[in-house]
Structure 1
Amino acid sequence: MRDYAKAMLLFAVSSVVMLAGVCGGRAQTIDPNSAPNPYQVVEHWANLPEGRVWGQAIGVDIDRDGTSLWVFDRCAAKTCAGSNVAPIQKFDAAGHLVASFGSGMFEWPHGLFAAADGTVWVTDGKKQIVVQFAPDGRVLRTLGKPGIAGAGPDEFNSPSDVVVAPNGDIFVADGHGDFPVPKTNDRIVKYSSDGKFIKAWGHHGSGQGEFDVPHGLAMDSAGRLFVADRANNRIQIFDQDGKFLAEWKQFGRPSGVYIRDDIIYVTDSQSNEKVNPPFRQGIRIGSVKDGKVTAFISAPDAGTEMPEGVAADKDGNVFGGFTQQTDVKKYVRD
């Protein structure tokens, strides 16, 4: 009897320990802000030309060299309308400006993608165009009808971002919600490498394959397309034919998404106590293989706005493009 009582006591104790472990695991799982932050911020890392200041720096990406940073900002302001400032700038690893172009071409800069062939792609959410540039600033291709919004195969309505697959196929996140133009599209549009329309998928909604502000795009090594479906507080994952594969909500309310070596970087620039709680703003970092968030670059103070655009160089340095703060910050590991 004594042995039986002892065995029951051990079982009870072990059960409590196991339950505590399970509950602790759940607590960590449901707390989306608990991942460690192994980064420190580097302020004013870029050497801007005299008299030039950052505008809303919405688009950032790493050049094919793995270290240089391309930035697409709103002409040292909140818009490029009426400005002669060049909104596309390239900085080397030391923060020195090495190229700038695009003056007088844009109204509301948004997405930027640096392709493997050295070309640079950008979107304008008000001019309704996607433009491909050579590294020296020559225009190589324009998709869309400048100034004309639409939902046809050769039209956009507030395109947010663009990404190019290894085979050259072009994917455009078309539709920024009701800003800066009303009743925009909520779809992904696919073109061949020579700019011919292949297909489009998605419409406004919250179901699988539906969108509410498709704000950013990225592609992993398996060719899966990751869409920052911002107003739905999720990332949707598709194959390149538009087949829905998965949705992830653990990265918050995503404004930007970037993938390098199958590490995913997601910016949350909108979550707060009223919007998508309990998530807080910041950059969540994880793996595309399991979707686990392993690091979280959080805001230094509650209420501080975090970036919309994000990129990471081959050395693991992270760059954030800020719109409200009008800045580009660099984050390095401690």
Structure 2
Amino acid sequence: MKIILAAAFTILSIAPAFAELPNPYQPPQRRWATMPDGTPWGTSAGVEIGPKGEIWAIDRCAGTSCDGSSRAAVHIIDPKTGKASHSIGAKLFATPHGLHVDKDGNVWVTDAAISKDKKIGQQVIKLSPDGKILMRLGVAGVSGGGPTHFHDPGDVVTAPNGDIFVADGHGTVAPDLPPDTITRIIKFTPDGKFIKAWGSLGSGKSQFRNPHALAFDSQGRLFVADRVNGRIQIFDPDGKWLTEYHAFNHPSGLYIDRHDTLYASDYNSEGQKGIYIGSAKTGKLKYFVPDDQAGEGIVAGPDGTLYEGTPTGITRFLKKP
């Protein structure tokens, strides 16, 4: 009974702290993004900003999956109208999930499932801005471990030197998983050669339960959204554990801007869902933007506008005047 009461007190004491933080944004604009033909946007988990400030986002083919669809899965969104102005990635993904745009404008997508015909999925695919396939990591339609396979890759990011990092183990959510369940961070060379992997299932240092998003700060530190464990773990590029932040609740999406402002979307908070904004350097919160849409991907545009990938499409948050 004492343990239950203590846990309840902790949750109740944390929730008001979030509510007391200022919110510099206007109410959310739901289902903001649309296709040129008027088709509603489907489920989205990935939103990114390109080197020219362009907004890229995943659309799961106007539904919850791209399996069997001929629609494109990745789009540039006009920041004024919300319409998709350029689209790539048709017939390549079962469940496109993580999205990254590198410094050269190339587009990286993780596919966290397997198609019904077992021909696509469980890969990380690098595309040119016009949709040409530049690299494939993983074996199409096959889940596994080791240096050549993925087990539900959730996100991908490239380091300043071009090294590739993949968060592997999106499905590690259930509390009764076998201890040898694959959940890890994998590092590759810029040309896709395996370097190393680290991590295991659990809640200790360098352990994960649903590593969901990745980001680098200005110091070259790798941030990992350890969603189910309710923390952000921070590593050096060689996988050395440095520290962890707990103020951002259950982070699902991560974005760090050039000022080291850290944005984290909270998918499954015990308290109130929302977007947490704070310092990547210190882990201290500065703002809280309430949002009940269980957001996943998050990015801030050059003018501070927020774009969030949610189960019902893309949500936009404009700053208050």
Q: Distance in 2 between matches of 1:132 and 1:308?
A: 21
Report the 3-state secondary structure (helix = DSSP H, G, I; strand = E; otherwise coil) of the residue aligned with 1:333. coil
Report the 3-state secondary structure (helix = DSSP H, G, I; strand = E; otherwise coil) of the residue aligned with 2:243. strand
Say whether 1:311 aligns with 2:299.
yes
**Runs (4+) of structure 1 moved beyond 4 Å?**
27-30
RMSD, matched Cα: 1.9
Q: Where do residues 20-31 of structure 1 align in structure 2 (5 Å cutoff)?
A: 31=17
Counterpart contact for 2:185–2:199, Cα < 8 Å: yes
Q: Which residue of 1 aligns with 2:116?
A: none
Report the 3-state secondary structure (helix = DSSP H, G, I; strand = E; otherwise coil) of the residue aligned with 1:58. coil
Counterpart contact for 2:173–2:228, Cα < 8 Å: no
Give the TM-score normalised by structure 2.
0.87
Q: Which residue of 2 aligns with 1:87?
A: 73
Q: Which residue of 1 aligns with 2:233?
A: 236
Matched residue type, 2:317: Y
Say whether 1:291 aligns with 2:265.
no
Say whether 1:153 aligns with 2:147.
yes
Report the 3-state secondary structure (helix = DSSP H, G, I; strand = E; otherwise coil) of the residue aligned with 2:126. strand
The CA deviation at 1:70 is 0.6
The CA deviation at 1:39 is 0.1
Deviations 1:209-245 (A, max 9, x none): 0000000000001000000000101100000000001
Q: Which residue of 2 aligns with 1:249?
A: 246
The CA deviation at 1:93 is 2.7
Matched residue type, 1:266: A
The CA deviation at 1:52 is 1.8
Matched residue type, 2:257: R
Q: Which residue of 1 aligns with 2:52?
A: 65
Q: Which residue of 1 aligns with 2:127?
A: 133
Counterpart contact for 2:173–2:210, Cα < 8 Å: no
Q: Which residue of 2 aligns with 1:42?
A: 29
Counterpart contact for 2:45–2:97, Cα < 8 Å: yes
Q: Distance in 2 between matches of 1:213 and 1:44?
A: 26
Q: Which residue of 1 aligns with 2:264?
A: 266
Q: Distance in 1 between matches of 2:90 and 2:173?
A: 23
Matched residue type, 2:310: F
Structure 2 unpaired stretches of 5+ = 1-12, 114-120
Matched residue type, 1:124: D
The CA deviation at 1:35 is 1.2
Report the 3-state secondary structure (helix = DSSP H, G, I; strand = E; otherwise coil) of the residue aligned with 2:212. strand
Q: Distance in 2 between matches of 1:161 and 1:241?
A: 18
The CA deviation at 1:30 is 7.7
Give the TM-score normalised by structure 1.
0.84
Matched residue type, 1:288: A
The CA deviation at 1:305 is 2.4
Closer, same or farther in 2 for the Cα pair 1:133/1:258, shift >3 Å? same
Say whether 1:188 aligns with 2:185.
yes
Give the aligned length. Answer: 294
Matched residue type, 1:115: D
Counterpart contact for 2:164–2:188, Cα < 8 Å: yes
Q: Distance in 2 between matches of 1:177 and 1:210?
A: 15
Q: Quick one: percent identity of the two aligned structures?
A: 47
Q: Which residue of 1 aligns with 2:274?
A: 282
